[in-house]
Amino acid sequence: MTTNIAVDVVGVSKRFRLYHEKYYSLKERVLHLGNNSYEDFWALKDISFEVAEGQTVGILGRNGSGKSTLLKCMSGILQPTKGKIVVRGNLAALLELGAGFQPELSGRENIFLNASLLGMSTREVERRFDEIVGFAELENFIDNQVKYYSSGMYVRLGFAVAVNVDPDILVVDEVLAVGDENFQRKCMGRIKEFQNDGRTILFVTHSADLVRVICDTAAVLSSGEMIGYTSAAEAVALYHEHLLTLAPESAITASEPVSEVPIYRPVGLATVDVEHPGTGTRDYLLPGESLTVHVGFEAHEPVSDMVIGVEIHDQFGEMVYSSDTEILGQRIDVPVGSGRADLTFEHIPFLDGAYNVAIELKSGLGIVYDRREMLPFKVMNPGRSRGVVALDLRVDIRTASLS
Amino acid sequence: MTEVRADTGERAPADATDESGTAGRIAKREREMADRAVRVAERGSKPTRVVSARVSVWLRLREMWRARELFVFLVRKEIKVKYKNSVLGFLWSMLNPALTLAVFYVLFTYFLPNGIPHFVIYMFSAMLVWNLYQTALIGGTTSVVLNAGIVKKVAFPREILVLASVGAAFMFFFYQSIVMIIFMFAFRHVPAWGDIWLLIPALAAIIVFASALAIFLAAVNVYLRDTQHLIEVLLVAWFWAIPTVYAFSGRVHEALERHTILFIPHTKLIWLYFANPVTPVVMTFQRFFFNDFNPHSTIATHPILANGHVAPYTVHALIPVLANYPVHWFVGADLAVLGVSVLLFLGALSVFGHLEGNFAEEL
């Protein structure tokens, strides 16, 4: 295995000055000389890592975690305030497709201009011209002015030019989210091709799924700091864990707000625990494992026909499952005193992600006695399949040769 | 105690991974990695680039040289975009100076005759240089701000944007020169063919000087948008500091010799006049195109009286229009401007490099 380093990020920090008021004119600058207050904002804090040649590295992070800034620094659009980045080989950055297209010029002229902006020689463009046009599916419009292009055509042309630049290092910033499905598939195919060619790819995204599918390793960024640089699967787990710590603010929880819980409580929740095979040892579930919610409750008065409801929400607060004992046909009559209920999911069919369980006690008529939310659990998929649900897949292949 | 069993009603798969076994998967991956490593090795050596807060001027020059094709495309773009959507299109680059020349001809022949024959050629040869300089400077100063879309999204040596503006200005200069030559041919005005080589150092000097100033101003303009307006006003004043609409020899020359700079004793205003880098270039052009430093022209002047005062009346006298300097004076002056400009250029690159780091956020 070669150990050549394609991108070496050495102690990179980037400071942005956030001026409370931005002054562009001389008069304003002079008038506000000295009292132009600003805050220093470190978008990147001492980031260091190495990317070996031929590797595909994901950079994971939420919006505003500094991943795009890091990318801009790598591609040379921004200069780091401290530290340096050594890039070995031609680097093409797909930050925005079609950036620098001149609406007044034709598609043909724009291909040449854009390609040379990205560092491609004219001879090279001439050689690949048909390929670029073919990839963008713009054979009939190539001599039209770009201003008459649809946004889809525009983006296709942008991507076609960028991937034909023949870079040693390709930097992709969530541009794959554009274009129709067919084109997206084409883009992914192109990225696979790049990987197989032994090129280095840096992939910035907040989609853990994409990282799992494409990347070998990944860096996880959180508010400018790198909280991990490990294998893709571990980085995804780290990222999910990190999201979970932020969950109270970011997740929108539960369809019913807690304030609707009436003050009169003949019965209330005492303890609610989530238990699964991973508890204690690895603190996450594997897809298909079981999960039990232990519900302890205390009744001050005898309650007839109590209903225990259970909901599962994903990290975005979206409900993925809801049921209750009434639906399941279990009648519960509670005497004064305490009781326990164990709600077991035999198989958790999720692939990946952080989830929250909510438990509520209510009357048969739907009056909520007590409710508890935000009981987290995580599912981590060690495999490479992605999506939301772990489906049972079996593949049967039969081939018959013609001769 | 109540036992509740919530049945999910679904069968989850026993093995959630889509590949047969862990061992097989690892082996496959290793094979993949090995294959890839071979291809990595095949790709061979590559250029190294360093992104940091400080990049040396030499590195900048190298990056700019590498982007020379981009320069050509940007110049072409600028010219194309300028005349796009006009009926006559590219023809305007010739028509515009031709019409300007015609206006000047009519003006100075019939309405404002000043006694200098073919004054239009005298003036237009200076205007060639001036238009080149002015277009390059204004275009260059605004180039980075106007191309914010590219600057924020694509990495390339940004000085190229400024240089492309200068390049486009040079192309317009070229078309104007063709019109000028046609005009001279029509009026049977013979240029000083023997001095044509003088244009090379002169052009080099004005281009490098304009580039240096434009690179500096373009970087400043990102932070202070006043720069572009300020420079326009400055250029109006600057225009009168070169011999365009007036003859240098005679009255102007004498006045410049006589007056001091800001009342500082033992100084001559003419030093300041020639400190203007555009002046020697303009004079070189006039020497070639106007070719008339021993003219049969009469200029109305106020003669200097015996007591040293300027006479309140004018006389028509035969006075050379152009400064009667020898050839080596022009060579020396142009090369001096060129030399200073090269130093300014390197300095401008250094300033540009310092300010460039925050372009993407300031725009």
pLDDT per position as a tens digit, A106-165: 889 889 888 888 878 888 889 989 988 988 888 888 888 888 888 778 888 888 888 787
3-class SS at A402? coil
What's the rounded mean pLDDT across residues B85-106?
Answer: 83
B11 touches chain A (CB under 8 A): yes
* CB neighbour list of residue A195: distance below 8 Å, 6 or more residues apart: A56, A201, A214, B36
pLDDT digits (tens, 9 = 90+) for B279-314: 999 999 988 888 764 444 455 566 666 676 776 666
- Cα Rg of chain A (Å, integer): 27
- A165 at the B interface (CB within 8 A)? no
Put simply, the answer to whether B4 touches A330 (Cβ < 8 Å) is: yes
Amino acid B338: pLDDT: 95
Chain A positions touching B17 (Cβ under 8 A) are 381-385
Whole-prediction pTM = 0.70
CA-based nearest residue to B269, from B284, B286, B251, B257: B257
Inter-chain residue contact B49 with A76, CB threshold 8 Å? yes
Q: How far apart are CA B181 and CA A392, in angstroms?
A: 83
Token pair listed for A251: 């997740």
Strands A56-61, A332-334: pairing is unpaired
Sequence-distant (≥ 6) Cβ neighbours of residue A371 within 8 angstroms: A254, A256, A258, A261, A269, A358, A359, A360, A361
Please indicate whether, in this complex, the C-beta atoms of B6 and A345 are within 8 angstroms of each other: yes
Whole-number pLDDT of residue A20: 65
Task: Collect all residues of chain A within an 8 Å Cβ-Cβ radius of residue B55.
Answer: 79
Cβ-defined contact of A195 to B17 (cutoff 8 Å):
no
What is the token pair recorded at B230?
A: 């300020």
Residue A346 contacts B where some CB pair is shorter than 8 Å: yes
**Residue A123, C-beta contacts closer than 8 angstroms, at least 6 positions apart:** none
Residue contacts between A and B (CB atoms, under 8 Å): 222
Cβ contact, residue pair B4, A85, below 8 Å: no
CA distance B164 to chain A (A): 13
A27/B226 Cβ within 8 A? yes
State whether B37 and A343 contact (CB < 8 Å): no
Q: Is B304 on the interface with A (CB under 8 A)?
A: no
Q: What does the alpha-carbon distance between residue A306 and residue A316 come to, in Å, rounded to a whole number?
A: 30
In B35-64, the residues whose Cβ lies within 8 Å of chain A are 35-43, 46-53, 55
Burial class of residue B159 (count of CB atoms within 10 Å of its CB; 0-12, 13-18, 19+): buried
Is B34 in contact with A122 (Cβ distance < 8 A)? no
Q: Does B1 touch chain A (CB under 8 A)?
A: yes
At residue B137, the pLDDT reads 95
The three-state secondary structure class of A145 is strand
A105/B80 touch (CB, cutoff 8 Å), yes or no? yes
Mean pLDDT of chain A: 80
Nearest to B153 among A95, A104, A198 (CB): A95
Q: Reduced to 3 states, what is the DSSP secondary structure of residue B16? A: coil
ipTM reported for the complex, 2 dp: 0.71
Q: Please list every residue in chain B whose beta carbon sits closer than 8 Å to the beta carbon of residue A78.
A: 357-358, 360-361
> Looking up tokens 């625990």, which residue turns up?
A273
The residues facing B23 across adjacent strands are none
Q: Taking CB atoms and an 8 Å limit, are A393 and B49 in contact across chains?
A: no
Rounded Cα–Cα distance for residues B143 and B159 (Å): 9
pLDDT digits (tens, 9 = 90+) for B171-222: 999 999 999 989 888 888 888 888 889 999 999 999 999 999 999 999 999 9
**How far, in Å, CA of B4 to CA of A34, rounded?**
69
Cβ–Cβ gap B152/A77 under 8 Å: yes
Q: Tokens representing B248?
A: 């240098």
Task: Using the predicted structure, report yes or no on whether residue A100 has a pLDDT greater than 80.
Answer: no
CA distance A194 to A176: 15
CB atoms within 10 A of CB A253: 16
Question: Amino acid identity, residue A312?
Answer: I
Q: Which residues of B touch A330 (CB under 8 A)?
A: 4
Q: Do A345 and B8 touch (CB under 8 A)?
A: yes
List the single residue in A73, A109, A121 with the smallest CB-CB distance to B69: A121
